[in-house]
């Protein structure tokens, strides 16, 4: 299974100002996010990111990490599945259901736990500094990735695909 991480990051590596305020991005970035997540068909996110989005993403299966018992007791549907299982277990279950690609869309904890399982990073680099914000990942091990593609957009943002 192919695992793609999709995020917008600031020049200082932040994905949000805080739990409620994400980085503002251009319509081009939003369209790219929509395209990649729809092509994947399944997204993996954290509950706080889902709360910030206000609703599950339409037309995609939403796998949502949570620790809330009431949500974990909710019966999974084709559109929404709450879980607290290990990432490898989640990917294994999805694979058995025929899923070929997933898009990990955040937040920081989710990017961190899927970091070693991620095949590609689709990062929109926004020309801004956030300062004390929410980092892309909270734990790193040294690893060098290669640039598979790069696009500079009229908004000043740069899309970089890393493998």
Q: Where are the domains of the chain?
A: 2-162
Model pLDDT for residues 1-52, shown as the tens digit of each residue: 999 999 999 999 999 999 888 999 999 999 999 999 999 999 999 999 999 8
User: Which SS3 state, helix, strand or coil, does residue 32 take?
Assistant: helix
Model pLDDT for residues 139-150, shown as the tens digit of each residue: 988 899 999 999
Instruction: Tell me what the mean pLDDT of segment 134-138 comes to.
Output: 96
Please report the pLDDT score of residue 19 as a whole number. 84
Model pLDDT for residues 58-97, shown as the tens digit of each residue: 999 999 999 999 999 999 999 999 999 999 999 999 999 9
Give, in degrees to the nearest 5, the angle at Cα 124 between 120 and 126: 150
pTM of the model: 0.96
- CA 129, CA 135: separation in Å to the nearest integer? 12
User: Which SS3 state, helix, strand or coil, does residue 71 take?
Assistant: helix
Instruction: Tell me what the mean pLDDT of segment 126-134 comes to.
Output: 97
- CA 89, CA 92: separation in Å to the nearest integer? 5
User: For 2-162, which CATH superfamily applies?
Assistant: Dihydrofolate Reductase, subunit A (3.40.430.10)
């Amino acid at each position: 299974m192919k695992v793609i991480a999709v995020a917008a990051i600031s020049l200082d590596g932040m994905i949000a100002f805080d739990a409620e305020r994400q980085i503002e991005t251009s319509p081009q970035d939003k369209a790219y996010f929509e395209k990649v997540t729809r092509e994947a068909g399944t997204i993996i996110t954290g509950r706080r990111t889902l709360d910030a989005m206000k609703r599950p993403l339409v037309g995609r299966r939403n796998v949502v990490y949570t620790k809330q018992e009431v949500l974990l007791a909710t019966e999974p549907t084709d559109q929404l599945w709450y879980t607290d299982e290990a990432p490898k277990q989640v990917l294994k279950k999805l694979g058995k259901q025929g899923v070929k690609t997933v898009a990990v869309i955040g937040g920081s904890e989710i990017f961190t736990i899927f970091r070693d399982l991620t095949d590609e990073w689709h990062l929109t680099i926004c020309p801004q500094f956030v300062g004390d914000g929410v980092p892309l990942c909270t734990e790193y091990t040294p690893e060098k990735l290669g640039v598979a593609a790069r696009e500079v957009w009229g908004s000043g943002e740069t899309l970089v695909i890393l493998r």
